[in-house]
Every structure is written in structure tokens, then in C-alpha cells.
Structure 1
Amino acid sequence: MILERKNFMNFNKLGTNMKETLGEPNVKNLQEMTKIYQLGQAGANEIGTKLENLDSEFQTEYDHNPIHHIEERMKELQSLAKKVRRKGLALTAENIQQHIFDVAGLRVVTNYVDDIYLIEKLLINQSDVTLIKRKDYVQNPKPSGYRSLHLVVSVPVFQSHGVTDVNVEIQIRTIGMDMWASLEHKLRYKTDIEASEVAQYGDQLHGYADELAEIEQKMQEIYKHLNNFKYKA
């Protein structure tokens, strides 16, 4: 099941900061950025459909659902503008296309750790999906304890004027990893607590990440034993 986060070119959220975010109004540039968002949404939909089809197949063939749920999101315009400018670039449609790979994104939440790599393998093996970038924070967690597999893939989107290859960022993580990441994100961006508390909770979360990883591995082994799940490529 895909859960959508509706933030498609949300100009209302910009409010009085629109000029600060976008600079001097440029109708042509705004039209081009809108087109990028539309293509990104279409690319995310293409990947989402592929993943849903794979999950459905595994339910039928192997009585196993590797995917718990999928979240689809478009990068907010404010975040996009900040990222472009951090790279020392002007906020133009051309710069976004050439340098930003996560305008459109999917978060794939799996039931077990092995499912992360199963989903990756099955998706990348599809003939019209091209792997652009890969960062494995499951095998190599971030210093904070964050775990997830990050992929950027390219997928063709068919439109009235032809075919366009669109980049989509995919984060694949387990339910436990997703719960941990959500709490760590809230801690990182919460502004009304002392720095000492941030450090304290950060240390605790780091330890919990290791504990969660160990628990999830043990639960996976129990599941495999009970269900005798076997898949051979």
C-alpha cells in the first residue's frame, strides 16, 4: 500500500517567504520547475507500481510479503531551494535536473532485514530501471546509528511528447529502522530542548539502534523457521 504525502509544489506553505525561497519571480523558471515536479511524481508512481506488483507476486507465489508499506513524497520547495544553494548553484530548473536526485522519493518499509536486499535485487534487475547511486547504511550505519539502504534509480516516464528518464530516490528500511529514524529525526529538529538533552537522548538512541538490529535479526530467523520461506533467483 502506497501512502502519499501531498506536498506537490505547495506555494501556500511558502507564504511571505516565497521571494526569499524562489528569488525574483520568473514565470518560465516556475513552469519548468512545475514540470520537474510533475515528472518526479510520475517517476515515483512508476517505481511504486513496480514494487506493489512484486509484493503481490510474492504473496501469491511464496505466501510472503516483503513490503509492509510504501510512502511516496515530493521534496518540499523550501528544502529543494536550500539544497540547491548549499551546492553553490542558482535555483533553476536546469540545475535541479543536473544536480538534485531526490526531488521524488519513496520510502519502502519492509518486514525483515533480508527483504531490504530482496527488494533491491528484484527492482534493479528490471530492464527499464537503472541504478544511479547506492549507499548502504544497513551494513555501514551512520555514526548516529541510522540504518537504511538508499538508492537513486532512473526510470522512463512516457508522456505525450516522448520518453523522459526520471530519477527517483528510494529508501528501504525495516519497520524497526523506520521507527528509530522517525524518533531520531524529531530529536534532531526539536528546538525547545537543551543541547545536553539532545546529546543524552542521541547516545541512548545509538544504543537502541544496535539493540533493534539484533532483535530484528532474531525475529527474522524465527519467521524463516516457522514459514520455511525459500526464494531462489
Structure 2
Amino acid sequence: MDVFQDKFNHWKNGLLMYKFALDEINTKLNILNEEFQFIHNHNPIEHIKSRIKDPSSIMNKLNRKGLSVTLENARSYVLDIAGVRVTCSFVRDIYKIHEMIASQDDINVIQTKDYIKNPKENGYRSLHMILEVPVFLANRTEYVPVEIQIRTIAMDTWASLEHKIFYKFDQDIPEKLKKELKLAADTVTALDDKMEYINTEVDKIKYTSKVSNV
């Protein structure tokens, strides 16, 4: 029992750094959202959700990679221990948030994967970033990896459904459902495009009205 407790405490203490990193990135995102609202009268971020991967999930991932299950390997090879999901109304907001985050002087962008311009085969769309976020401790500063997934509300709804189906069928989704999910993904893309168009038209009308009243 003592050995188990020691191991549990070792992992718990080791993952605390990721909690601090999430606090840092959530603060940054909220500040950027409020600043954008103040300047442009528009909130690019609809919702922020963050989580730290469960130790058992981290261990399973290390096993799948063929690595020893150690905290040191987790820190080196599992870059999504700390994760943030950001949802937006419009696709343009996704790239605006990406730009604002990447321009932060104290953040290092390790990796960006654009599954919006290049969707996965199953139709999954989202923008993924792996960042190194500074965590300021009493006697040192540590850079901790955080994964950010940025997507529209429609993309997030599709991803949530696909995730549930994926695990209900133990990762082996019937071909018929795969086709239905792909069709739904195409519908989501069309919806996002239509919403983007409507939003652009609103901006044009507002601008024309403003100019005509000068």
C-alpha cells in the first residue's frame, strides 16, 4: 500500500506543473478574448474547456508507444497531458486566435496541425497547437507543453459524437456509420461556410450603413 501511495503521490506531484500551465494559458486566452471584445466589439472565443490527462491514460499512451511507464517519459513523449479546447462561432476566429496565441512573446509554438484546411479522412476538422507555456515557480521557470484544439461549435459537436461512437464500438466503427459520419462532417463544413458568409455580409451591411451616415 505504501509503495502504491508513493507512486501515486509521485505522479500527482509531477502532474501539478501541468495544472499551473493550464492556469497560465487560460488566463492568456481570457485576456485576449476580452481585449478583442473591447477593440472590435466581438468575442472570438465562445467557450474554453481544459483538462489534465488521467495518469492511467498517460500510462496507456506510453505503453502504446513502447516506452517505459515513467513520469520522465511522460514529460518527454506525451505532449497532450495538459489540454485546452477552444470553441468559436466562425472559422476566421480560429485563425485569429491562432495568430494571437502564436504572437505571445513568452510562448513557444512547437507544432501546429491544421485539420481544417487538411481534414482527416473521417471528416474531422480542428486546428491543433502544441505550445510550451512558462510556469513561474519560486526558484525557476519551467516551460510545460500544452495542447490547444481550436474549432467551431459545429466542428466540436461532430467531434464529440464521433468520439462517443468510437468508444461505443471499441474503436471499430461499422462502415455504414463511418459513411454517415463523413456525410455529417460535410454538412458541418457547409454550415460553417454558410455562417461565415452570413457574418461577412453582416459586416458589409454595417460598414455600408456607417459610411452612408457619415
Is it true that 1:35 corresponds to 2:13 in the alignment?
yes
TM-superposition CA deviations, 1:124-176 (whole Å, max 9, x none): 10000100111111111111111111110001101123111111000011000
Q: 1:126 aligns with which of 93, 104, 111?
A: 104
Are residues 1:102 and 2:80 paired?
A: yes
Range moving further from structure 2, 220-229 or 107-116: 220-229
Please report how far the alpha carbon of residue 220 of structure 1 lies from its aligned counterpart in structure 2 after TM superposition: 1.2
TM-score by length of 1: 0.82
- CA gap of 1:217–1:94, structure 2 versus 1, over 3 A, is same
Structure-2 separation of matches of 1:37 and 1:46: 15
**Contact residue 187 and residue 198 of structure 1 kept, 8 A:** no
Which residue of structure 1 lines up, in the alignment, with residue 132 of structure 2?
A: 154
Letter in 1 for 2:149: Q
Equivalent residue for 2:148, pick from 159, 170, 193 = 170
Q: Give 2:212's aligned residue.
A: none
Corresponding position: 1:207 with 2:186: no
Give yes or no for the alignment of 1:51 onto 2:51: no
TM superposition shift of 1:202: 1.6
Map 1:159-198 to 2 at 5 A. 159-191=137-169, 198=174
Cα RMSD for the two superposed structures: 2.1
Question: How much does 1:93 deviate?
Answer: 1.3
SS for the counterpart of 1:55 is helix
Quote the offset at 1:32 in angstroms.
3.9
Matched residues, number:
204
Confirm or deny: 8 A CA contact 1:58 1:66 kept in the other structure.
yes
Shift of 1:227: 3.2
Which secondary structure does the structure 1 equivalent of 2:184 belong to? helix
User: How far apart, in 2, do the equivalents of 1:209 and 1:118 lie?
Assistant: 23
User: Where does structure 1 lack aligned partners over 5 or more consecutive residues?
Assistant: 1-18
* Structure 1 residue aligned with 2:210: none
Is 201-210 or 165-174 further displaced after alignment? 201-210
